[in-house]
Amino acid sequence: MKIAAIGLVALGLIASSPAAQAATGQVFSKVSARRGQAYVKTAMERPMADLLDSAEALKPDDVLAYGLALQLGRPAASLGYTAEQNARLETAMRHAGEYYLQAGEPDTDRPLAELPDFWIYTAAHIYNHLDADARFSNEYVITTQHLLPDEVEQLANRDDMTKIALNASDVAASQACAIYAQAGAVIRVTIRRLESEAAATGKPSSAMVQSQKTYDELVKAGSNACLDKAFFDDVSAFSESSQKP
């Protein structure tokens, strides 16, 4: 699957970020793929505005789902934001953006809020921290803070109640599922065009043969990351419909 990932980067079908390449370089257990499915389903079903509202508050599941939704081709909710809303989003996500760039992820001319990798990378690095005082209060009120690693290091009361929020393999499986599904949607469009050309000439081109080979690799890898071929096909079809003008 490493070879498939490198080929997809070369074709411009996936980002060249380390996180994206790492996700598409793995073979996933059925447990991780099944748990990853839940995030992908959320990414397809929840309204983008709702997801972004939760993601701004660094709620890990929704930060991940919003990134996956962008990966699948859904338009960013922030595209329709007013200047005031964009300013609020920029303020809310400024620290996460700085952390993302300092970690060596590639810079871009596009706003970070429109980048799938930014949200997915952020989700994978969020910690849940239970406020110690609240935890031992008589009223049993528990306050959960969502923190990035550098913020965790500054905690005076860091203990075993400060834990990474999401399982790394589950995040990677969901990301790989979305990447393969989106790439499959793009390649299917290419294959249909090349099939029409082949019908006119009576001979399949080398580009068509290579595209079909790449697609077959995607189906194999995507069926693993998405748990099975049926879900891969569903996600890929959703991505294709999301990318239509």
8 A C-beta contact, residue 161 and residue 135: yes
Domain boundaries, the chain: 2-126+165-242
Strand order in the sheet with 162-164: 144-147, 127-130, 162-164
For tokens 């997809």, name the residue. 8
Per mean pLDDT, which range of 54-63, 80-89, 142-151, 164-173 is the poorest? 142-151
pLDDT (tens digit, 9 = 90+) per residue, 156-214?
Answer: 666 656 889 999 999 999 999 999 999 999 899 889 988 888 888 888 888 888 888 88
| Cβ contacts of 219 within 8 Å, gap of 6 or more | 184, 229, 232
pLDDT for res 56: 93
- Give the model's confidence band at 141: pLDDT under 50 very low, under 70 low, under 90 confident, else very high: low
The rounded mean pLDDT for the chain is: 84
pTM for the complete prediction?
A: 0.88
- Going by C-alpha positions, the residue among 57, 35, 62 that lies closest to residue 167 is 35
Query: Once rounded to an integer, what is the mean pLDDT over residues 89-107?
Result: 84
3-state helix, strand, coil in the chain (%, to 5): 65, 5, 30
pLDDT for res 142: 56
According to DSSP, residue 123 is labeled: H
8 A C-beta contact, residue 217 and residue 11: no
Query: CA–CA separation, 24 vs 46, rounded Å?
Result: 25
**What would the DSSP string read from start to end of 84-109?**
HHHHHHHHHHHHHHHHHHHTTPPP-S
pLDDT (tens digit, 9 = 90+) per residue, 5-26?
Answer: 545 554 555 555 667 777 777 8
Query: Once rounded to an integer, what is the mean pLDDT over residues 82-110?
Result: 84
Pair of tokens at residue 99: 């952390």
